[in-house]
Structure 1
C-alpha cells in the first residue's frame, strides 16, 4: 500500500512541498488548502529573489533559479521570472565593508557583480540620487517572479505527478495516537495519513495548538507602497536594497515598489484576523511608515511628489531568530513542519520544498538543517509575550531579506 502524505497549506511553500514530494515518488500525496491556492500571505509577496554570499541565501537561491527554469520547462506555466539584477546601497562604513566582501566573493566565484561609480549608478537607476550613498554594488543574480504564477507552476507540476489538491478544505485538528500522527480532521471529514506536513503559514501555530504544541512563530504587519513615479521605470530596472534604512524595492508596472522591515513591528494574533482572510489586507498605517519613507526620499527624491497608488499591509509570520521552521516535530512521529518563512516564502520555497521532501522520505538533506529545527526554542515557544517581543524587535539584516 502506498504511503499517504498530507500537506496542510496551499501557498507557494505548500505547493513546492507537494511538487518535491511527488517528484521524489514519496507516495500518495494530498494537499489541503483552507481557501484558494496562493491566498493568505503568498499573494501579496513582492516576489523578489536575490542571491547573496551568506549561508541563508547562497545554495537556497541558486537552487531556486534552477527550480524556476525546470518548472517552466516541464509544466509550460510561466512564473513571471524576470532577471533584473539588484543594487545594494550603502552609506555607513559597516555596510560598505559588507558589500565589498560580497563583491570579492562574487569575483572569486566568477559571478559578474561589480561596484558602480556614481555616474554608472545614475544610468542603471534613473530615479536614484548618486550622491545619496557611498557605495553601490550591482548583483546580477537577482530578479523577481509573480508569486501567484510560481505557486501555479508548483501546483501544476504536482498535479502532473499525481498529487490531489483540495481547495476550500479546512483542517480542524491532527489525530495523534501513541506518539505518531495517523490522520487529521477537516471541514469535509476525517483523512487518514501516514505523515503530515504543516505548511499553513501564519495559521500553523493555531493548528498545532489544537494538539498542545506551541510553535515559535508569530505574525507581524509588513508593509510596502507602490508609487506612480515620473519618469516611469523600465521593467528591467534593477531592484534595490539598503540595509541601514531597512528598505528594499523594485519597479512595479512602471511605478516603484518600496518596502520596509519595521524594527518595532506591530504583532498580529492570527486568531483575531477576520474569517475568511484569503486575499485580504490590513489597514494602511501612514504614521508607522512615515520615518522609513522619509529615508527613502533621501535616496529617491522623486518619491517626495509621487502619488501613492497603493499601500500594501499584510501579516506575515516570523520567528525570533529569522530562520524558518523546517523539519520533524521531535515528539510526534510522522509530523513535519515547513512554516514561518520570515517574509521569504518565495525565495525559500524551492529549498523548503526539497528539504521537507528529503526529510519525509529519509533521504540525505541537500541543505543545512541546523538553524531551522522547529523545536529549537524549547518551552519559550509557549510564552506568547516573549515571542511577540522577539518577533517585533527582530534585527535580521534586510539586505538578506528579499521578498
Structure 2
C-alpha cells in the first residue's frame, strides 16, 4: 500500500467520473504527481446511478465538441486500460415534434458536421424504422447520430482511474477532506482525516457536494442537488439491442435499450431538491425513495411516444440526486481563489461529457486555457 502523500502537484476532491477523467488527462499531459481524494469509493456519489446515455448533440458548439471527444475516448479505453466499460455504439435519435424544433435540429446538425460529427437529418418514418416501437404521431423529423452510444458508469470511471494510476496518479479512498488552508490568498494545503497534503492546486470535482467543498475556501458555488428519475423495465417484446438511444426534447423524455427492456426517464419541469441543509455524511451508493407522483408526467410522456412502456413490467424506479446549476450548464474553471478550480454540477450529463471535461480542465490548468472556449 502506498504511503500517504504529504504533497502533490494537484489534489482532486471527488472520485466520480469527472474527477477520474481530470486525473486521466492531467497525467496524459505529463503531470504525474496527481492525487484523487475520495471519502468513500469511486463512483459512490452520483456517478454509479447514471442512466448511461452518451449523446453528442448539444445547443452549444463547444459542448458538442466535448461530447464528440468523449465518444472517441470511450471507444478506445478498454484497449488502453484493459477495463471493460460496456461501451455500445448504437447511435442516437433526437426527435423534433414541432417545426421550430426541426429548424433547431437542422442548425445543430450543420454546426456539428462542420467539425466532423457525423450527424444527419432523417424523416419520422426513417426514425421509426430504427426504433419500431415508437409512435411517430406529431413527429416532424429527427436528427440521427450514428456514433452515439451507452456506457457503464462504473466501468468508465474505473478505466479512467486505471489510466491515471498507470501514469503515476494516486487514489486515496475512504479519505475525507475536512478543510482547505490558504496562504497569501491561494491554496496551500488540503486537510483530511488521514493527514495533510501540501499543494498549490485543488480541483473541486465533488459533484453534488461541490457547494460544501467551496465553502472551505470562502466561496458560495451555485450547486444544487436535485433528484433525477428513471425506470428500468423487464424485457419488452420487440426491443432489441440494435435500438438506438432515443430522445424527445419536446416531451422531456429519453429511452435506451437495456437487456431487452428499456431505460426511460427525463427531466420534470418542477424538480425536487435534496440536501439543501447538508448531505448526510454516510450518503454513498444510495437512492432516494421512489417518487411515482413526480414521475407520472414523465411516464405519461414516455408512453405517448413509446406505447409499449404502458404495459411493461417495471423492475425499479431509480430516484437519485445529482448536482445541478441554475442555468443547466457545467460548472467548470478557475475561481477567485488562486489555485482553486471547480469541475462539478454536470446537470445529469456528466457521463456523456466526462471525457471532454477532463481534457478541458487539464489543458486549462497546465496550459492556461483550453482548446475550446468555455466562457
2:208 paired with 1:210: no
Structure-2 separation of matches of 1:314 and 1:85: 26
Deviations 1:45-88 (CA, angstroms, capped at 9, x unpaired):
11211122632532112211222234323212222111111122
Shift of 1:18: 0.8
Q: Which residue of 1 aligns with 2:268?
A: 262
Deviations 1:174-232 (CA, angstroms, capped at 9, x unpaired):
01121011111111122211211110001121122133210011111111111235315
CA contact (8 A) 1:3 1:26 kept: no
SS in 2 for 1:71: helix
SS in 1 for 2:362: helix
Structure-2 separation of matches of 1:7 and 1:220: 23
Structure-1 separation of matches of 2:16 and 2:38: 8
Structure-2 separation of matches of 1:108 and 1:214: 38
Q: Which residue of 2 aligns with 1:91?
A: 97
CA contact (8 A) 2:133 2:238 kept: no
Residue 107 to residue 68, structure 1, CA distance change in 2 (3 Å)? closer
CA contact (8 A) 1:227 1:256 kept: yes
CA contact (8 A) 2:123 2:142 kept: yes
2:348 paired with 1:353: no
Structure-2 separation of matches of 1:122 and 1:27: 49
Q: Which residue of 2 aligns with 1:66?
A: 72
2:79 paired with 1:46: no
Structure-2 separation of matches of 1:105 and 1:333: 36
Q: Which residue of 1 aligns with 2:347?
A: 342
Structure-1 separation of matches of 2:184 and 2:121: 59
SS in 2 for 1:130: coil
Which ranges in structure 1 are unaligned for 5 or more consecutive residues? 371-403
Show the 5 A alignment for 1:95-244.
Answer: 95-105=101-111, 113-244=119-250
Deviations 1:118-150 (CA, angstroms, capped at 9, x unpaired):
543333112112335232332213111111111
2:310 paired with 1:295: no
Structure-2 separation of matches of 1:294 and 1:361: 48
Structure-2 separation of matches of 1:80 and 1:276: 29
Q: Which residue of 2 aligns with 1:374?
A: none
Residue 296 to residue 55, structure 1, CA distance change in 2 (3 Å)? same
Q: Which residue of 2 aligns with 1:387?
A: none
Shift of 1:319: 0.9
Show the 5 A alignment for 1:374-393.
Answer: none
CA contact (8 A) 1:124 1:237 kept: yes
Count of residue pairs the alignment pairs up: 369
Structure 1 window deviating more from structure 2 (305-314 vs 54-63): it is 54-63
2:333 paired with 1:327: yes
CA contact (8 A) 1:226 1:310 kept: yes
With structure 2 as the length reference, what TM-score do the two structures score?
Answer: 0.92
CA contact (8 A) 2:190 2:197 kept: yes
CA contact (8 A) 1:6 1:29 kept: yes
Which ranges in structure 2 are unaligned for 5 or more consecutive residues? 1-6
Shift of 1:282: 0.5
Structure-2 separation of matches of 1:244 and 1:190: 50
With structure 1 as the length reference, what TM-score do the two structures score?
Answer: 0.86
CA-based RMSD of the aligned residues comes to 2.1
Structure-1 separation of matches of 2:204 and 2:254: 30
